[in-house]
Amino acid sequence: MASEQTKTNEQTHFRTCNLCEAMCGIEIKHDGAKVLSIKGDKNDPFSKGYICPKATALQDLHEDPDRLRHPVEITANGWKTISWNDALDKVAAGIQSVQKKHGQNAFGIYLGNPNVHNLGGMLTIKHLLSSIKTRSRFSATSVDQLPHHIVSMHLFGHMLRIPVPDVNRTHYMLIIGGNPLASNGSIMTAPNMRQKLKDIKARDGKVVVIDPRRTETADIASEHHFIRPATDVLFLLAMVNEIHLQGYAAKAQTNNRAAALAPEIERIADFAKDYSAESVADITGIVANEIKRLVKEFCEAESSVCYGRMGVSVQEFGLLSQYLIMVINIVTGRLDEVGGLMFPNPALDVVNNSGPGYLGKRHSRVSNLPDFNGDYPVVAMGDEMLVEGEGQLKGFMTVAGNPVLSTPNGEKLDTAFANLDFMVAIDYFVTETSRHAHIILPPVSPLERDHYDVTFNNFAVHNVAKYSKALFAKKKSAKHDWQIYLELAKRLDKKAALATKIERRLVNILGPKFLLDQGLRRGPYAGMSLNKLKKKPHGLDLGTLKRMLPEAIKHKDKKIHLNIDFYQADLARVQAMMQNYDDKQILLIGRRHVRSNNSWLHNSYRLVKGKPRCTLMLHPETAKEYGIEDGQNVKVSSRVGSVMIVAEVTDELMPRVVSIPHGFGHGRKGVQQKIAQAHAGVSVNDLTDDTLIDQLSGNAAVNGVPVQLEAIAPEVVDLETTDSNTGATTAA
């Protein structure tokens, strides 16, 4: 009888999964109070029924008993639930106390990755930031996609004018340091990448992967080439050189619309002339003839595109490498062409409703690193809290972020957060970072809020628009993140301009969908509105990517600014790397899994099922050299710390390269995520080095970290002791 009653009450809700960049459409069966199932929405024009395993975590996250539902304050007896009014008053008072005593910029703020997956957060975070009035801002951008933003700002005049691979129509895709089968794209919003790559091969095309690891993507590619970590810049310089030597740049010139818009294009040949395929072969590990062949195939394909992602971005030459990837697409005539790199045209035009970005207006107090668009690099964060002197950070707020696990030198950050005068976290959980907070303010779950993908439509490989209303109404005792921001802004910014107060009042009454509707009406599609999208629960198909040059360029002269002098200055650093290269080093790289999403989905029991994923991958030759056997414990050490981890011996890695996945390390004391703690693993960011950076951008270099290996004998492991603070093991 009960099951019949449930079936009678069964309802269907369509929305977009917002747990990663892919924007997959999902169909949720529910009874009005509880989720019954989550499946792919076959009528979604973008994902067409595809979902990855992460989608089910929306239910796990919503129902998670460890998820905070009320504000909590730390006391001598642990966490205590307090009212929203008390919590917000205390947070505002704590911020003001720090700033009054130590100065406006003594209070810092960090914005984590989930912010960009959040409609209300994206449209209202400015009110929180402007009310705190601090220059001490940090975000996940500088341990991720910062090079993409800087390159696009320089070339096209806006940090968000980022072209993406036209993967649905290309005949040759060169993927460098990317694993879209695990990431579902990444700065290339593209659900079901497995099928898209198969489709390339089915139309007699080719997929080539360049990566230190034979990834899931490399496994289904046409071919895969191992490359030594952080030497991508040499491979790319050699490619640019070969494109000119083999005459392909000249051949492309006739019909190259993008090159015609780039006044400095003739200087590119000289830029790379010193980097022959032969000169880079030994260091990169890719033989000269293979580099030359790849150039020939790329340039002679009916259409082709070069794409690089995390493996390229988060290393010592991340910015220069992403620049060279863009240059390769430009000089070969693949920018703004079908099957090449093309510009999305989203219904909500973020580019025309935001500033272009800037680099280096200010520099961090201790490490003198440049800010980007008001954010300092995350690698500067620990020192800004720990190094005494004028401007030292004494208070801090994290918003949907867990930097202790997700940014370099996590142990230093752990110490830094523990020594703050006041800290607040806007977070669902008591995490490795938020455990240091005095107060935690939890927003509602993703299923309790409306959704429109403000960010990732800007990177979509097909133009679509979709609005999803909240599945479940929030309880009166809960608050949306945007309500938290506005409540704090009201308390902190009582002298705000009248126009600002009016906007905040309207958003508070009408919600962020009021701002969304305004943006849609001002966008590039006539007649677009929120009401129109509400009538299309599966989403609206806005068509394939189209040529957008020169209109897409935001520079006033409508030219592509190659900014060659800026990038050429970094070649001195490249030369120094070549001259001092030590091929005997063991280099650490990260990896991700389709069932993981940074550090914040490990409390989903569905996603942690299966064999342990937090292992040290290493090649059999490397294992033999260090006397390491599969399944054995290994001590991995770097300049900043060490971890004990189980070895996974595999030929997926090239020799002298090891890999540890990102986002684990849940064994620290005080974390309140039972499932994550039962699958704790170790944090790769207890090894990554906050002094290892891309000096041109300030971006963290978490790939290519030098480490040392030590096999731990079983009898030694039996005598190990456990650090009560971190959960890490150390040999006795």
**pLDDT classification of 716: cutoffs 50, 70, 90:** low
Residue 253 has a pLDDT of 83
The tokens describing 605, both together, are 């029991």
List the one residue out of 337, 410, 356 whose CA is nearest residue 663: 410
Cα 551–Cα 567–Cα 403 angle in degrees, nearest 5: 90
Q: State mean pLDDT over 258-277.
A: 96
For the segment 26-85, what is each residue's pLDDT rounded down to a tens digit?
Answer: 999 999 999 999 999 999 999 999 999 889 889 999 999 999 999 999 999 999 999 999
pLDDT digits (tens, 9 = 90+) for 693-705: 999 999 999 999 9
- pLDDT score recorded for residue 349: 95
Residue closest to 158 by CA, chosen among 344, 401, 370, 399 = 344
- At 725, is the pLDDT very low, low, confident or very high (cuts 50, 70, 90)? very low
Residue 667 near residue 728 (C-beta atoms within 8 A): yes
* Residue pLDDT, tens place only, 382-404: 999 999 999 999 999 999 999 99
Q: What is the DSSP letter of 474?
A: P
User: Worst-scoring range by mean pLDDT, 158-172, 291-305, 499-513?
Assistant: 499-513
- Summarised one tens digit per residue, pLDDT across range 164-208 is 999 999 999 999 999 999 888 889 999 999 999 999 999 999 999
**Mean pLDDT, residues 594-607:** 84
Torsions phi, psi for 625 (to 5 deg): -60, -35
pLDDT at 723: 39
Phi–psi pair at 332, nearest 5 degrees? -95, 5
For helices 232-245 and 318-331, the axis angle rounded to 10 degrees is 20
Say what the pLDDT of residue 480 is.
Answer: 97
List the structure tokens of 8: 């009678």
Half-sphere exposure in the Cβ direction for 627 (13 Å, CA): 6
Closest CA to 147 of 337, 372, 350: 372
Q: What is the pLDDT of residue 593?
A: 84
pLDDT score recorded for residue 679 = 94
CA 67 from centroid of its chain's CA atoms: 23
Torsion of CA 389, 390, 395, 400, to 10 degrees: -90
Give the mean model confidence (pLDDT) for residues 548-572: 97
DSSP 576: H
Helix, strand, or coil here: 436?
helix
Note whether 205 and 340 are within 8 A (CB). no
Task: Give pLDDT tens digits for 601-644.
Answer: 899 988 888 888 999 999 999 999 999 999 999 999 999 999 99
* Residue 657 and residue 617 in contact, taking contact as beta carbons nearer than 8 Å: no
Tokens, residue 231: 């030497």
Element (H, E) at 398: strand 395-399
Whole-structure pTM value = 0.95
Average of pLDDT values for 373-381?
97
Q: What is the mean pLDDT of residues 404-412?
A: 97
Can you give the pLDDT at residue 720?
41
- pLDDT grade, residue 730 (50/70/90)? very low
Average pLDDT over residues 587-611: 87
pLDDT at 657 over 60: yes
Residue 427 amino acid letter: D
Residue 668 has pLDDT above 90, yes or no: yes
Q: How many whole angstroms separate alpha carbon 144 and alpha carbon 140?
A: 6
Question: What confidence category does residue 722 fall into, taking pLDDT thresholds of 50, 70 and 90?
Answer: very low
Q: Give CA–CA dist 177/309, Å, rounded.
A: 6
Say if residues 391 and 105 touch (Cβ distance below 8 Å). yes
pLDDT at 729 over 80: no
Average pLDDT, the chain: 94
Cα-based distances in Å from 413 to 226, 368, 407, 534, 591: 34, 18, 9, 44, 22
Confidence category of residue 7, pLDDT binned at 50, 70, 90: low
Q: How far apart are CA 440 and CA 456, in angstroms?
A: 28
pLDDT at 3: 53
pLDDT at residue 718 tops 50: no
Task: Give the type of residue at 511.
Answer: G
Structure tokens at 681: 């693993």
Give mean pLDDT, residues 322-334: 98
Note the pLDDT of residue 8.
66
Q: Which residues does 596 contact at the CB level (< 8 Å), separation at least 6?
A: 602, 607, 613, 661, 662, 663
